[in-house]
Amino acid sequence: MSFRNRARIIEIKKETEAIISRYNIASLPVKIEDIAKKTGVRVTPYAFDDDISGVLVIEKGEGTIGYNQSESRVRRRFTIAHEYGHYCLHREKSAVFMDKGFHAMFRSKQSGITEDTQLLEKEANTFAAFILMPDILLKREIDKIDFDLGSEDDIKNLAKIFDVSSQAMYYRILNSGLFQF
Ligand SMILES: [Zn+2]
């Protein structure tokens, strides 16, 4: 990972931590929809086609997040967090973010999109991971149990507490620096 990437990740992390502390978030799962609404962003369900997870529309500086109501709850939460990430990080860059396939970005590169777009998508995913699974709360929960990264059950249980997918939790912990590998 380049230094520039690393510096940007730290910036994004700080931004999410500022939000977590501004709204005194201490209970889990993080109420991402409420946080977005408190910031003045509208959040509404939509009957999108299957392949669209969410959109963010900026109109006169105001943001509206639409999420696919037919996806699972953990996906809807991640989508809202991802779109809210675009709002916090990228709202000067575009008026519309239409999102398909970013849930799979942990694993693979999306085809057919430019490197710039890919970077914005990665940043929004990073933001989503940090705001749904903040370090301070992650440490708190990991300390409560005798956590074992190799245990699927431990990952599953943590994922349940944070109301995220096991996959998102696994990657979050791997990238957290909380464990030495
Ligand atoms: Zn996106």
- Per-residue pLDDT of 38-93, as tens digits, reads 999 999 999 998 789 999 999 998 999 999 999 999 999 999 999 999 999 999 98
Counting residues of the chain whose pLDDT is more than 70, the rounded percentage is 93
Spacing, Cα 137 to ligand 1 middle (Å): 25
Residue 2, pLDDT above cutoff 80: no
pLDDT digits (tens, 9 = 90+) for 144-160: 988 888 899 999 999 99
Region 172-178 average pLDDT: 84
Report how far apart, in Å, the C-alpha atoms of 149 and of each of 1, 163, 172, 180 are. 23, 18, 11, 11
Domain ranges, ordered by start, for the chain: 3-133
Residue that has been written with the tokens 């005798």 in this structure: 146
Q: Does the reported pTM lie above 0.75?
A: yes
Are 130 and 13 in contact, with CB atoms under 8 Å apart? yes
For the ranges 92-101, 106-115, 121-130, the lowest mean pLDDT is seen at 106-115
Mean model confidence pLDDT for the chain: 91
Residue that has been written with the tokens 């991802």 in this structure: 82
pLDDT bracket for residue 108 (50, 70, 90): low
**Within 10 Å of residue 124's Cβ, how many Cβ atoms?**
26
Measure the CA–CA gap between 136 and 69, rounded to whole angstroms: 30
Strands 42-46 and 62-68: parallel
Measure the CA–CA gap between 100 and 98, rounded to whole angstroms: 7
Spacing, Cα 58 to ligand 1 middle (Å): 14
Is CATH 1.10.10.2910 what the domain over 3-133 is classified as, yes or no?
A: yes
Residue 107, pLDDT above cutoff 70: no
Residue 130: left if φ>0, alpha if ψ -120 to 50, beta else—which one? alpha
Spacing, Cα 181 to ligand 1 middle (Å): 30
Tokens of 140: 């708190």
Spacing, Cα 26 to ligand 1 middle (Å): 27
Spacing, Cα 101 to ligand 1 middle (Å): 9
Spacing, Cα 156 to ligand 1 middle (Å): 25
Spacing, Cα 82 to ligand 1 middle (Å): 6
Spacing, Cα 144 to ligand 1 middle (Å): 34
